[in-house]
Amino acid sequence: MMALCLKQVFNKDKTFRPRKKFEPGTQRFELYKKAQASLKSGLDLKAVVQLPPGESINDWIAVHVVDFFNRINLIYGTMSEYCTEKSCPIMSGGLKYEYRWQDDNKYKKPTKLSAPQYMCMLMDWIEMLINNEDIFPTRIGVPFPKQFQQVCTKILTRLFRVFVHVYIHHFDSIINMGAEAHVNTCYKHFYYFIREFSLVDHRELEPLKEMTERICH
Using CA atoms, how far residue 171 sits from 21, 39, 66, 79, in Å, is: 29, 24, 24, 10
Helices (H), 85-147: 115-130
Is 88 annotated in some ligand binding site?
yes
Contact yes or no for 82/170 (Cβ under 8 A): yes
CA distance 63 to 67: 6
Q: From the CB of residue 115, how many other CB atoms can be counted at a distance below 10 Å?
A: 27
Contact yes or no for 104/110 (Cβ under 8 A): no
What residues contact residue 212 under an 8 Å CB cut-off, 6+ apart?
Answer: 191, 205
CB burial of residue 61 (10 Å; 0-12, 13-18, 19+): buried
What residues contact residue 197 under an 8 Å CB cut-off, 6+ apart?
Answer: 57, 61
Is 169 annotated in some ligand binding site?
no
**Residue 156, φ and ψ in degrees, nearest 5:** -70, -35
Is 83 annotated in some ligand binding site?
yes
Is 186 annotated in some ligand binding site?
no
Q: CA-CA-CA-CA torsion for 157, 162, 166, 169, nearest 10 degrees?
A: 80
Binding-site residue numbers are 83, 88, 165, 170
Binding-site residue numbers for Zn(2+) are 83, 88, 165, 170
